[in-house]
Chains A and B, each alone.
Chain A
Amino acid sequence: MRLYEYEGKELFKDFEIPVPKAEIASTVEEAVEAATNIGYPVVLKAQVQMGGRGKAGLVKKVENREELVSVFKDIKSRIKNDEQLLLEETVMAVDEGYFGFTVDDVRGVPVMVITSKGGVDVEKVAETEPERIVRVYIDPLEGLYYHQILNAIKKVGYKGRVMKELAEFGLKLYKVFVENEADTVEVNPVMILDNNKIVAGDAKVILDDYVIFRKKNLQKYKEKRMNNPENNTRAIYVPLDGDIGIISIGASNTMMVIDSIKYLGGKPGNFADLASGVDHDSLYELASLIIRESADKCKVILINITLAGASLKVVVEGYLDAINAIKPKIPMIANIRATGAARLEMEVDEAIAELEKAGVSYCDTLEEAIDTVIRISKQ
């Protein structure tokens, strides 16, 4: 789960990391009031989760109320309804750097990345000025020591009093990363002021979805996101722009099916999977979500079942309850492959019979099922 910039900065404040004075606004009235509290000039920043906001015109400085109102309306018209704007005091930096903590997925350890060139794409710095970027892999049993950060700061070219300030900033940021068991904590730019003080100019925080259950301070971020179907707690739903709905669990198998549909000339309408365990309610929710979202944009739904560990009976019942409750108007095509423990409570033949009773057509092989849904989608 990725936090918005303002949420990330809230979290930073809890760890005594300096951030610009700021307020969040959804309406022009709120923005005018916020700007008065902060004092002009203020910077308006759209709270969207994308890189290159500046280039897209979603970050702008305004000098007075008139300018604020027109810029606010302009930015608001270019972002989604539920997205907000952050208003911040103007911070005069004499230099900008980058500080980040993330997890290296190959070595399986945390890594600290520092560059002395902030405000730009770090990968670009790695290509063009490799001497200004340092990566420090962190032994999870040892943690990160102050002198390791100092070493890295020196290597990328910092000198003098700012070194100590940067090292302390780095330690606090590491604390945010470790204590929240985060996936990524990144500040770009790290703003260095003329008195050598450091301010976090941005905040990119990606939380580990699987750790929130034991982190009381992070639960509020999850609760805020409950209303959006893309953030459903039980089902992972990724809308695609095609016209074939896909009810399927098992991430890799589902990807194989949508990839094959696309390769063979069809257009998949979604990716889906369960967020955690396989139980009736989650399956019901997943199938309901896809049937509802497919109603207008899809011509056919493919029910793809591949199981080895999870029970075929539980899966088929979850789907059937959703189908019988919503009664989709578009055709549904199914194929089932089930092995081992999946078949302990229901055999494939029984599952086929149950699905057919609910109006689902069955294809004997996955290839045939894929061919059939592509054919229907093109009629």
Chain B
Amino acid sequence: MSILINKDTKVAVWGMTGKYGIKQTKNMLSYGTKIVAGISVSRGGEEVNGVPIYDMVSEAIRHTEINTGIIYVPPVRAKDAAIEAIDAGIKVLMIATEGMPLHDTILIKRLAEARGTWVIGPNTVGIITPGECLVGSLASDYAMKGRVGVVTRGGTIAVELTRMMSAAGFGQSTCVGAGGDKVIGKNMADYLQLFEKDPDTDVVVLNGEIGGHKEFECAEVISGMKKKVIAYILGRCAPAGKRMGHIGAIIGGKDEGFEEKREVLRQAGAIVVDTPWMILEELNKLGLKQKNSAAISLN
């Protein structure tokens, strides 16, 4: 078990014929992800990385089963691709696109909720269930099967936490980057709820940031959870009113700051840590260390 993706995941990739999409697809295929179709209008009938290309997803699903989609389409067209995927009944849709117009995401989120599509991102590094399936580019060399669920707001922090955890002997059930934008399909709190129900997850590592109120929603969920949550919040150095990279990472109101979020999470029962190395110490205290850990290199 795991959340959202596993060995039965069958993926269609929008933007697979682009420079970036080709590389990511190649990496996912070598990890063992079942990529069954590429969707690129006017390229139908071709093959890329050994995967057949279709003009439209509605055509692809007549030939093969698809339950998951990936969008590697530039911002100007990503909305159309996402809506096409949602309309086709794709169950899990990852939108990697960086620089999505805010109001496009608002529309995508609304449509996805109406049709029951679980949208990861936009601006996400993706999701990995170690040893089973990689959707996106989340640390294929670092991930190690285990019992810790990981959900982050940023992408590179997901890679980093996965690397550090595996190297220290703490494997993961599923790792997912929820997305760094102000509005995203599913919030971190939604993943916490999935991990709480997942029989193969014992503990959850949550990463949040300054800016916005999504961490407050997480705190509400955590206060009702049986499983332990280790929370690591970024933005200790963030000056008010400055955007720290992510479009949503800006301290607007006074409750959106670093200490405020940590305090709310602490009150909800989360173990709040100061550095990623302290996550490892906490996991160790919870007795999650595995013996089969030596294979992961530090780089």
Which A residues are within 8 Å of any B CB, using their own CB? 49-50, 103-106, 108-110, 123, 139-141, 178, 181, 183, 208-211, 213-214, 236, 238, 240, 249-256, 258-260, 262-264, 268, 271, 273, 276-277, 306-309, 311, 336-344, 348, 364-365, 367
In the complex, the answer to whether A256 meets B155 with C-beta atoms within 8 Å is no
Q: B222-277: which have CB < 8 Å to A?
A: 234-239, 241-249, 253-254, 274-277
Report whether A252 and B153 are in contact in the complex, using a CB–CB cutoff of 8 Å.
yes
Taking CB atoms, residues of chain A closer than 8 Å to B248 are 105
Chain A residues contacting B253 (CB-CB under 8 Å) are 123
Q: Number of contact residues on B: which range applies?
A: 35 or more
Report the nearest B residue to A181, measured CB to CB: B103
Q: Is the CB of B27 within 8 A of A340?
A: yes
Write out the residue numbers on chain B whose beta carbons fall within 8 Å of the beta carbon of A259.
234-237, 274-275
Chain B residue with Cβ nearest A211: B101
Partner of B249, one of A109, A208, A251, A342: A251
CA distance A264 to B26 in the complex (A): 40
Residue among B24, B99, B182 making CB contact with A309, cutoff 8 Å: B24
| A210 CA to B248 CA, complexed, in Å | 12
Contact of B155 among A252, A336, A344, A367 (CB under 8 A): A252
A139 contact set on B, CB distance < 8 A:
110
B180 touches A (CB below 8 Å): yes
| Contacts A339-B139, A348-B299; A108 near B76 (Cβ below 8 A) | no
A262 touches B237 (CB 8 A): yes
Asked whether any CB of chain A lies closer than 8 Å to the CB of B89, the reply is no
Docked Cα-Cα span, A254 to B137, in Å, equals: 18
* Cβ contacts under 8 Å, B275 to chain A: 259-260, 263-264
Q: Which residues of B contact A49 (CB under 8 A)?
A: 241
A252-B152, A271-B244 are known contacts; what are 20 more A-B pairs with Cβ within 8 Å? A49-B241, A103-B102, A105-B183, A108-B109, A108-B183, A178-B103, A208-B247, A211-B101, A211-B103, A251-B156, A252-B155, A259-B235, A263-B236, A273-B244, A308-B125, A308-B155, A309-B20, A337-B160, A341-B137, A367-B277
Name the residue on A nearest B215 (C-beta).
Answer: A106
Residues on B with C-beta less than 8 A from A306 are: 156, 159-160
CB <8 Å contact, B242 and A238: yes
Interface pairs (17), CB distance under 8 Å: A105-B182, A105-B248, A183-B102, A238-B239, A240-B237, A240-B239, A252-B246, A253-B160, A255-B245, A260-B275, A262-B237, A268-B237, A273-B245, A277-B99, A307-B156, A339-B141, A367-B277
Partner of A105, one of B140, B212, B234, B242: B212
Chain A interface, DSSP helix/strand/loop, else mixed: mixed
A340 and B102 in contact (CB under 8 A), knowing A250-B154, A251-B156, A256-B157? Answer: no
**Is B201 among interface residues, defined by CB-CB distance under 8 A?**
no
| Partner of B106 from A108, A268, A308 at Cβ < 8 Å | A108
Verify B157–A341 contact, CB threshold 8 A.
Answer: no
B44 contacts partner chain A, Cβ-Cβ < 8 Å? no
Closest chain-A Cβ to B277's Cβ sits at a distance in Å of 7
Minimum CB–CB distance for B186 against chain A, Å: 10
Tell me the residues in window 111-149 of chain B with beta carbons closer than 8 Å to chain A beta carbons: 111, 125, 134, 136-142
CB B113 to nearest CB in A, in angstroms, measures 9
